[in-house]
Amino acid sequence: MPNVQSSPAADDDQTWEALRREWSFAAGVTFLNHGSFGAPPRPVLEARRQLLDRLNADPMHFFFREMQPMMAAARARIGQFLNANADDLVFVENATVGMNAVARGVRLAPGDEVLATDHEYGAVLRIWQRTCDRAGARLVVAPLACPVQNAAEWVDALFAEASPRTRLVVVSHVTSPTAVVLPVAAICAQARARGIPVCIDGPHALVTVPLDLAALDCDYYTASCHKWLLAPVGAGFLYVHRRAQATIEPPIVSWGRTIGQEPSWRDEFNWSGTRDVTPCLSVPAGIDFLEAVGIESFRRRTHWLARQARDMITALTGRAPLVPDDPAWYGSMISLPLPPGEAAPLQDALWERFKIEVPIFEWQGRRLVRVSCQLYTGTADIERLRDALASLLDLAAK
Ligand SMILES: Cc1ncc(COP(=O)(O)O)c(C=O)c1O
């Protein structure tokens, strides 16, 4: 487990530096894109390796006898972490599969509407556009304007686009291009008052912001655990509230119910063909790692780093951030406006000339840089990004 003294101050780079040794990035690479692709630390990789060894030592024993109880134990662990009943959770490969399972099951009639925001992940908008097109329904994308000053502004802007035909609200918990924490509790409360189910897309929220699924009371919540929860690639979950479980349809049809081990909505997810389940089984190792560091310490440290990025890049560009300087609005990741221009050439140049991995987005006519801060990130990484941006954009670093 990680060797870090209990609760170092968030700005104590030197002490936190010790944790970097738990990761094995290629030499010279500054990795600031944990939000897209999170790398697991060594103890998680080791846990996964042991699981793979066990699988390969006797695949029949592993898949027939060991896998189901191990999956149940892993579900119980993540359920405890998110304050959800393990019976309301299934493992999926990633959030994309979870979202597709919701989209497959939701019954839409011609003229019905699905309501989302213009901060959603592109693939999620595609899933819902296709689902709506097939049903003759309409995907309504509510604009949530930036900069924003208070949560009520955005809740009102979202529900201004709702109608009596709205059958589902789909929102991120933490958005992808803009890295903003959406006011999901207020959105769920408002949707409940209107009798509209809510599906939350949560990959960036796990760990980085508090999440209590029982209290949130949404209908669906899906996330990938291979980002902030530090699991190996290929681990995600779908939570479905009891009131919505009858609507779920897995995107992959396999043996499912005919295995007949536990007759429930989860059966169809138990076996979606022979696949590598070790990433999902490694989720408890990711939680163990983070809990050994301390979830609150993680949040304080990574938010402090994100705030450093905010201060440095704002000072460089002179452009106002998208949201107020408050952990209620951003956690371990922050998106900041850059001078207008194309995104892809800048992202490529950051990599080719400076070996910095960071995504540059074009969003609503703006060019944004999104900085992800993990336990391996240090102030020097952010300074390197600031200096590289200054050089590429011909701005003077202040
Ligand atoms: C907000 C959001 N939703 C969904 C996804 C999809 O995650 P995955 O590719 O792990 O399915 C991403 C990926 O970055 C994301 O940022």
Ligand 1 in reach of 377 Cβ (< 6 A): no
Kindly report the pTM of this predicted structure. 0.97
Ligand 1 in reach of 203 Cβ (< 6 A): yes
Going 221 to 222 to 226 to 232, the CA torsion angle's sign is positive
Please report which residue ranges of 241-378 form alpha helices under DSSP H: 267-270, 278-281, 283-293, 295-317, 343-354
Ligand 1 in reach of 93 Cβ (< 6 A): no
Rounded Cα distance between 80 and 212, Å, is 10
Q: Which two tokens stand for residue 120?
A: 């959603």
Ligand 1 in reach of 268 Cβ (< 6 A): no
Atom number of ligand 1 nearest to Cα 96: 11
Q: What is the CA radius of gyration of the chain?
A: 21
pLDDT in tens, 366-384: 999 999 999 999 999 999 9
Helix, strand, or coil (residue 362): strand
Ligand 1 in reach of 121 Cβ (< 6 A): yes
Atom number of ligand 1 nearest to Cα 175: 1
Closest protein CA for atom 2 of ligand 1? 121
Structural domains of the chain in order of their starting residue, each with its CATH number = 13-31+294-392 (3.90.1150.10), 46-288 (3.40.640.10)
pLDDT at 262: 59
* Per-residue model confidence as pLDDT tens for the chain (398 residues): 776 666 799 999 999 989 999 999 999 999 999 999 999 999 999 999 999 999 999 999 999 999 999 999 999 999 999 999 999 999 999 999 999 999 999 999 999 999 999 999 999 999 999 999 999 999 999 999 999 999 999 999 999 999 999 999 999 999 999 999 999 999 999 999 999 999 999 999 999 999 999 999 999 999 999 999 999 999 999 999 999 999 998 888 888 765 556 578 898 898 889 999 999 999 999 999 999 999 999 999 999 999 999 999 999 999 999 999 999 999 999 999 999 999 999 999 999 999 999 999 999 999 999 999 999 999 999 999 999 999 999 987 65
Ligand 1 in reach of 372 Cβ (< 6 A): no
pLDDT in tens, 73-120: 999 999 999 999 999 999 999 999 999 999 999 999 999 999 999 999
